[in-house]
Amino acid sequence: MVQSTAKDVDAYLAEASEERKDVLVRLRQLCRAELKGSDEVMAYGMPTYERDGAAEIAFASQKQYISYYLMRGDVRDAFEERLAGQDMGKGCLRFRRPERVDFDLVRDLLRATAAAPGEAC
């Protein structure tokens, strides 16, 4: 599932592979628990969390990995040391195997994102 045509996050999760479904559901639960007040939408074919209309967080099941998109440069900068050993692009944290998703890191990134508004890239 690279870019889904699902209309909502429930439908997105329903079409996920069994191998990844539990991890994707857990990512959603973390986002909903930590990003209170954010809107959960489907954007660019993936679950996305917006504050005041600006996307800050998203996740997706890609062909080779699960992606966690951190669209706040200030949060990425604050976590530079913890992110240094991760497989990461400019704003995309990639987990090549579902069992390797670092939920503690994801939770901490979500909490930092929720703590204060910032500029999304």
Any bridge partners for residue 47, and if so which? 42
Q: Is residue 2 part of a domain?
A: no
Chain segment 66-104, per-residue pLDDT in tens:
999 999 999 999 999 999 989 998 889 999 999 999 999
What is the C-alpha to C-alpha distance for residues 94 and 106, in angstroms, rounded to an integer?
12
Q: Is residue 121 part of a domain?
A: no
How far apart, in Å, are the Cα atoms of 40 and each of 46, 66, 82, 87? 10, 18, 26, 25
Question: Please, what's the b/e burial string for 96-106 (b: 16 or more CB within 10 A of its CB; e: otherwise)?
Answer: eebeebeeeeb
Q: Is residue 1 part of a domain?
A: no
Whole-model pTM?
Answer: 0.92
Using DSSP's 3-state secondary structure scheme, residue 86 falls into coil
Q: Phi/psi at 39 (nearest 5 deg)?
A: -95, 130
Q: Is residue 3 part of a domain?
A: no
Chain segment 15-26, per-residue pLDDT in tens:
999 999 999 999
CATH of the domain at 84: 3.90.1150.200
Q: Is residue 16 part of a domain?
A: yes
Range of the domain at 96: 9-113
pLDDT confidence of 2, banded at 50, 70, 90? Answer: low
Counted domains in the chain: 1
Q: Is residue 64 part of a domain?
A: yes
